[in-house]
């Protein structure tokens, strides 16, 4: 249910399900609410506003949605209590507790609400609350337990081998070890170890395997390409990534710029790191305290003389002036927000392509360093994105490459004919 509500198309999905007669029983909580005129109006308004926020890459709260779905029951319960003589605020608080008590397993409700049976059970277990009428039975691995150990699996899954097979957990654990971004989900959902929702990305070894030496880089002159542009701020690192799709393989190149004034204020380790990259041409250092956007514009124009730039993906928040200039010159510029809705499929797709050997990256020490800095954050429904604010160093070349590959994949998918893929010839 949660994934449907946070899809950005919850209203359309719900209306379609109801029109097909499929909503009843599939979403039992909504069955009750939608039968009430006021309840239907309230829920549909909440879903419409949530859809708008998701499509605009604005933050949304699962707790808000669940509160919306439960509000009708809370009001009904509060009214019943008030009719029996309970004071309004006390009635409301009692009704909230009662509603949560009878719906403890509502699609991860305990993960997004502070008033719930799980937290109460833990308080009783730990002796913080004395309640002789309440016997909590909690299955979960200790935080310090080795999540890769079978004994840990048993502590959190007493039904191992019955409702969940050991083979299934072993496969999920193996995937989590190979892909650090999946470690969070495995430990939280299979072991009840509530670890941080921040994780490094997949192994740097896979990026190293995708790197191509200069002498082995193919001549791509005249071929179609897509650019990803991460302008960041005027005092920070800015990067462009270019992606070419050739025979099912994506070739990736990147360029970066930094203002000399900003580098001078960095700690010594970073200043030392950027100096050889400037000499090797992997970063262009512009004079002054801010990035000279004219240098970036000149580079894009230079690329346009050598390749067919199909489109330029940009983060709309930092690129208004340059985007307008590029559009006025005939370039196709596409806004690519950097929230979960856009970056999660881009990140997962990039990971899959690298793992399957379908990405070739022009050897670049700055890109490798940036990739090693990437930390992934995860939302309640499993979407991921790189988070600059939590990265100790810069990740801009990686962000630009995710944008470029995502749009290149979009063009690739759009160019395929459904008739051709189905084995029919179009005459």
CATH number at residue 243: 3.30.420.240
Q: Are residues 268 and 332 in the same domain?
A: yes
**Tokens, residue 139:** 């299955």
Phi-psi region of 334 (alpha: psi -120 to 50; beta: other; left: phi over 0): beta
E-assigned strand segments in 207-248? 211-212, 224-230, 238-246
Domain boundary among 161, 177, 195: 195
Is 320 inside a domain boundary? yes
Could you read off the pLDDT of 328-344 as tens digits, one per residue? 999 999 999 888 889 99
Q: Does some domain include residue 208?
A: yes
Q: Do 321 and 227 reside in the same domain of the chain?
A: yes
Label the pairing between strands 375-378 and 198-200: antiparallel
- Residue 130, domain member (yes or no): no
Q: Which helix (DSSP H) or strand (DSSP E) does residue 271 occupy? A: helix 268-280
Same domain for 172 and 51, yes or no, is no
Does one domain contain both 264 and 340? yes
Write out the chain's pLDDT in tens, 427 residues. Answer: 667 777 888 888 888 877 777 766 555 556 656 666 566 777 788 888 888 888 887 777 777 777 777 777 788 888 888 888 877 877 787 777 666 655 444 433 333 333 345 666 776 777 766 778 777 777 788 777 888 888 889 888 888 888 788 899 999 898 888 776 677 778 877 888 766 555 668 778 899 999 999 999 999 999 999 999 998 766 678 999 999 999 999 999 999 998 887 776 654 545 557 888 998 999 998 888 788 889 999 999 999 999 999 999 998 777 788 999 999 999 999 999 888 889 999 999 999 999 999 999 999 999 998 998 888 887 767 788 887 655 447 899 999 999 999 999 998 887 664 444 444 433 3
What CATH number corresponds to the domain at position 107?
Answer: 1.10.3090.10
Which of 135, 170, 195 represents a domain boundary (last residue)?
Answer: 195
The answer to whether position 141 is within a domain reads: no
Assigned domain for 135 exists? no
Are residues 218 and 172 part of one domain?
no
With a CB cutoff of 8 Å and minimum separation 6, the contacts of 241 are: 227, 228, 252, 253, 254, 397, 400, 401, 403, 404, 405
Q: Are residues 189 and 214 in the same domain?
A: no
Same domain? 300 vs 400: yes
Of 156, 201, 196, 199, the C-alpha closest to 402 is: 201
Number of domains in the chain: 3
Residues 191 and 287 in one domain: no
Same domain, 69 and 177: no
Q: Is residue 256 situated within a structural domain?
A: yes
Asked if residue 236 belongs to a domain, the reply is yes
Give me the helix-helix angle, 37-55 and 10-19, nearest 10°.
Answer: 130
Give yes or no: residues 190 and 212 share one domain: no
User: 14 and 113 in one domain?
Assistant: yes
**Boundary-marking domain end, from 88, 110, 125:** 125
What is the domain extent for residue 242?
Answer: 204-415
* Domain presence at residue 177: yes
22 and 95 share one domain:
yes
């Amino acid at each position: 249910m949660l994934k449907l509500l946070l899809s950005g198309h919850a209203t359309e999905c719900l209306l379609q399900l109801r029109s097909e007669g499929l909503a009843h029983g599939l979403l039992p909580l909504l069955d009750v609410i939608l039968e009430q005129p006021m309840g239907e109006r309230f829920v549909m308004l909440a879903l419409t506003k949530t859809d708008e926020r998701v499509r605009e890459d604005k933050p949304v709260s699962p707790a808000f949605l669940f509160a919306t779905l439960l509000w009708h029951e809370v009001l009904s319960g509060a009214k019943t209590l008030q009719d029996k003589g309970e004071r309004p605020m006390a009635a409301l608080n009692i009704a909230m507790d009662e509603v949560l008590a009878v719906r403890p397993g509502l699609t991860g409700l305990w993960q997004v609400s502070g008033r719930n049976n799980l937290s109460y059970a833990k308080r009783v277990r730990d002796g913080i609350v004395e309640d002789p009428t309440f016997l909590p039975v909690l299955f979960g691995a200790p935080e310090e337990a080795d999540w890769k150990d079978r004994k840990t699996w048993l502590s959190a899954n007493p039904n191992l081998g019955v409702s969940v097979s050991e083979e299934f957990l072993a496969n999920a654990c193996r995937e989590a070890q190979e892909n650090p971004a999946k470690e969070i989900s495995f430990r939280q959902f299979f072991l009840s170890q509530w670890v941080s929702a921040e994780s490094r990305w997949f192994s740097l070894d896979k990026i190293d395997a995708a790197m191509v030496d200069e002498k082995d880089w193919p001549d791509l002159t005249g071929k179609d390409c897509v650019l990803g542009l991460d302008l960041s701020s005027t005092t920070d690192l800015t990067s462009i990534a270019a992606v070419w799709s050739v025979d099912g393989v994506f070739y990736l190149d990147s360029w970066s710029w930094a203002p000399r004034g900003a580098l001078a204020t960095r700690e010594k380790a970073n200043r030392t790191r950027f100096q050889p990259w400037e000499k090797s041409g992997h970063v262009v250092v512009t004079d002054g305290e801010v990035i000279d956007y004219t240098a970036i514009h000149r580079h894009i124009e230079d690329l346009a003389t050598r390749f067919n730039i199909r489109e330029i993906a940009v983060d709309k928040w930092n690129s208004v002036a340059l985007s307008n200039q590029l559009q006025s010159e005939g370039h196709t510029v596409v806004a690519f927000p950097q929230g979960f809705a856009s970056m999660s499929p881009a990140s997962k797709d990039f990971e899959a392509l690298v793992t399957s050997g379908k990405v070739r990256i022009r050897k670049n020490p700055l890109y490798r360093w940036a990739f090693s800095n990437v930390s992934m954050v995860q939302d309640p429904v499993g979407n991921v994105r790189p988070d600059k604010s939590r990265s100790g160093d810069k990740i801009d070349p990686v962000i630009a490459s995710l944008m470029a590959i995502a749009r290149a994949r979009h063009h690739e998918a759009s160019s395929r004919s459904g008739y051709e893929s189905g084995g029919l010839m179009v005459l």
